[in-house]
Amino acid sequence: MNEETRLTHAGSEPRPLVRTVGPPIQKGSTVLLPSAASLYDDDAFLTYGRQGLATHEALCEALGELEGAGGVTLYPSGVAALSGAMLAVLKAGDAVRVADTAYRPTRRFCDKVLKRFGVEVDYYDPRLAPQAVFDGAPANLRLVVLESPGSLSMEMQDIPAITQAARARGVLTLADNTWAAGLLFKPLAHGVDISVQALTKYVGGHSDVFMGSAAASDPKIARQLADGINHLGWAVSGEEAYLMLRGLRTLPVRLARHGENALSLATWLHGRAEVGQVLHPALPGAPGHALWSRDFTGACGLFSFTLAGASAAAADAFLDALQVFGLGFSWGGFESLAIVCDPQFACRRHAYDYGGPMIRLHVGLESPQDLIADLERGFAASGQDPK
């Protein structure tokens, strides 16, 4: 053959892969099929790379193990997992009820996109009793979107009671389980139909990769999720799937340390006179502790606290004095982060007075002593009188 042809095809038949401890990073849009008949045989053959190759399959299998799921679908971010899963099961004329303390971009998607396509959206107060979630529910209610603990303010919900009530009404449930990272709480085992998490957070673990997953045990729902992503045409890269699988290997050890460090900071904060509430469900006496003890096997590094009666300027001064904690969104990486929460409360329907500005901490893998010294700098700068 001529050189053009030889160069076009040389090296395309490597010897069978040797085994390494991780999967190969397989890249490819075109999949070469063995026969003309197999080109259109989607049931027996994977016919296109967008459906996911070896690395994606390995990650989905491992996430299936984590979630106790029959099917797991990957998305290019956590928000994409939430929006993609909702689009997969909703249609015009359906209604969705969302926890008022859900992650803010979740409600942005509901308000800006779902409503435009004829889906009704309303928000329930997560502090209500489980049955009250369905109070005044429209007959076309199709999906309840749960998040427990709630974003920023950490309200715990009785997920088993809510999912039981939802099933009795033929309503689906979806839980954003990013806080528990698929490990500390098992949504599918507690009756949730679709378990979503932002793998960007603890599974990735290094604040450098975006990805999300949705898992289901019901084969029909798992199929809807897989078809949904195929229809939308979203795909994740093999390299990033590889990084997520690498993160997953050390998830339990990292989370255990994040959880331990966060609880020691929460305990220390609880003893500070400047602090109103410590919103950490694993802290004895904190709101939601009983539900957390019943349903969760551990806690991660994310919690919040309030500066009793302080001004917004005092909270900003607190943050600006921090040297070890970085100021930034997202969480789940190895490093400690802090934000002030209050500007995100304006969109909530069920306003609540927390008694002072709220600061959310993500406690990383640094030494807790150094982190406590950093918080002391914050208190000194906030100019509050310890009462």
Interface with ligand PLP (CB under 6 A): 77-79, 103, 151, 176, 178, 198, 200-201, 210, 212, 330
**Closer of 145 and 162 to ligand PLP (Cβ):** 145
103 classed as catalytic: yes
**Closer of 201 and 280 to ligand PLP (Cβ):** 201
Minimum CB separation of residue 86 from ligand PLP in Å reads 13
Minimum CB separation of residue 190 from ligand PLP in Å reads 17
Minimum CB separation of residue 78 from ligand PLP in Å reads 2
Residues 174 and 144: beta-carbon distance below 8 Å:
yes
242 classed as catalytic: no
201 classed as catalytic: yes
158 classed as catalytic: no
Minimum CB separation of residue 297 from ligand PLP in Å reads 19
**Closer of 73 and 151 to ligand PLP (Cβ):** 151
What count of residues does the chain have?
387
H or E element, residue 378:
helix 368-382
Other CB atoms within 10 A of residue 250 CB: 11
Residues 6+ apart with CB under 8 A from 359: 304, 305, 306, 307, 315, 318, 319, 338, 339, 340, 341
Query: Which is the catalytic residue, given 94, 97, 100, 103?
Result: 103
Of all residues in the shown chain, the one whose CB is closest to ligand PLP is: 78
Residues 295 and 190: beta-carbon distance below 8 Å:
yes
**Closer of 275 and 279 to ligand PLP (Cβ):** 279
Minimum CB separation of residue 214 from ligand PLP in Å reads 12
**Closer of 147 and 274 to ligand PLP (Cβ):** 147
Q: How far apart are CA 385 and CA 367, in angstroms?
A: 27
Tokens representing 22 are 């991780």
DSSP labels for 91-107? -TT-EEEEETTS-HHHH
**Closer of 151 and 217 to ligand PLP (Cβ):** 151
Minimum CB separation of residue 100 from ligand PLP in Å reads 14
Query: Which is the catalytic residue, given 201, 254, 348, 360?
Result: 201
Residues 6+ apart with CB under 8 A from 27: 49, 53, 237, 238, 239
Q: Establish whether the linkage from the previous residue to 149 is cis, with ω within 30° of 0.
A: yes
Q: How far apart are CA 168 and CA 137, in angstroms?
A: 13
Minimum CB separation of residue 138 from ligand PLP in Å reads 26
Residues 74 and 99: beta-carbon distance below 8 Å:
no
Q: How far apart are CA 85 and CA 69, in angstroms?
A: 15
Query: Which is the catalytic residue, given 176, 193, 295, 374?
Result: 176
Q: How far apart are CA 66 and CA 387, in angstroms?
A: 46
Other CB atoms within 10 A of residue 346 CB: 7
**Closer of 103 and 325 to ligand PLP (Cβ):** 103
Active site members: 50, 103, 176, 201
